[in-house]
């Protein structure tokens, strides 16, 4: 049950965002600063909501913008893609915002943030590409073509985990997500990790 709940939570985080998108565009991101035990900590509106040293730095939307997302994942909504309409910039930023106060994309300066985004999204693109070698635009243009594994060759239920993360009757633990996770034990671990923020 844990696993099912956590997956739906994750999907909710990604989907519930179209409403927040309006907020993300218009809302104010002024930096608030204070000192805690001599250390400077900040918040930055919706994108960095918990007091943290990382929130004093540029946030992801400061240096990674919608046009760059569109260029990177240019083919994801073409008719032959497998998750048309599923992935968008605002969902990414809204999900990322939960981790920005912890340092995701906010560690170091702008250049380091850009490098971290390049590494993260490069990984995402390679895991979700349907470009293979010959597609127009090359294989790198086809990231975020999938949001799940389409034809699992096996059932990813490992019975040796039946006490800690038992498989739910009827559930399948094939790869899902932008950095797909597989197997009941990985779903279980991801569920544990997501619980505190859901």
Stretch that binds ligand NAG, among 3-11, 105-113, 130-138, 151-159 (CB under 6 A): 105-113
Among 12, 40, 50, 109, binds ligand NAG (CB under 6 A): 109
Q: How far apart are CA 49 and CA 55, in angstroms?
A: 8
Q: Per CB under 6 A, which region of 89-97, 107-115, 128-136, 175-183 contacts ligand NAG?
A: 107-115
108 binds ligand NAG (CB under 6 A): yes
Site string (46-65) toward ligand NAG, x via CB under 6 A = -------xx--x--------
Other beta carbons less than 10 A from residue 138's beta carbon: 11
Residues 6+ apart with CB under 8 A from 25: none
Does 185 bind ligand NAG (CB under 6 A)? Our answer is no
Minimum distance between the CB of residue 181 and ligand NAG, rounded to whole angstroms?
28
Tally of residues, the chain: 198
Distance CA 50, CA 84 (A): 33
The SS3 call for residue 196 is: helix
**Contact region for ligand NAG (CB under 6 A) — 9-17, 94-102, 103-111, 190-198?**
103-111
- Rounded least distance, CB 111 to ligand NAG, Å: 9
Q: Are 46 and 97 in contact (CB under 8 A)?
A: yes
Binder of ligand NAG out of 68, 107, 114, 168 (CB under 6 A): 107
Q: Report if residue 122 touches ligand NAG, rule: CB under 6 A.
A: no
Applying CB under 6 A, what is the total number of residues that bind ligand NAG? 6
DSSP code string of 88-124:
-HHHHHHHHHTTGGGTTTTSSSHHHHHHHHHHHHHHH
Beta strand 48-52 pairing with 31-36: unpaired
CB nearer ligand NAG, residue 41 or residue 93: 41
Nearest to 158, CA basis, from 3, 14, 12, 18: 3
Q: Which is nearer to ligand NAG, 103 or 180 (CB)?
A: 103
Q: Which residues bind ligand NAG (CB under 6 A)?
A: 53-54, 57, 107-109
């Amino acid at each position: 049950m844990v696993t099912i709940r956590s997956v739906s939570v994750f999907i909710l985080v990604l989907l519930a965002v179209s409403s927040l998108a309006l907020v993300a565009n218009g809302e104010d991101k002024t930096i608030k600063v204070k000192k805690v035990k001599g250390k400077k900590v900040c918040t930055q509106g919706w994108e960095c909501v918990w007091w943290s040293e990382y929130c004093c730095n540029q946030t992801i939307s400061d240096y990674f913008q919608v046009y760059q997302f569109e260029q990177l994942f240019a083919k994801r909504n073409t008719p032959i893609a497998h998750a048309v309409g599923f992935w968008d910039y605002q969902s990414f930023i809204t999900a990322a915002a939960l981790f920005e106060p912890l340092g995701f994309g906010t560690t170091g300066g702008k250049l380091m943030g850009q490098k971290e985004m390049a590494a993260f999204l490069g990984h995402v693109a390679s895991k979700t590409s349907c470009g293979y070698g010959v597609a127009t635009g090359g294989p790198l243009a086809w990231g975020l073509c999938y949001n799940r594994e389409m034809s699992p060759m096996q059932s990813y239920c490992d019975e040796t985990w039946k006490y800690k993360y038992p498989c739910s009757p009827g559930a399948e633990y094939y790869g899902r997500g932008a950095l797909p996770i597989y197997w009941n034990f990985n779903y279980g671990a991801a569920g544990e990790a997501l619980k505190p923020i859901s």
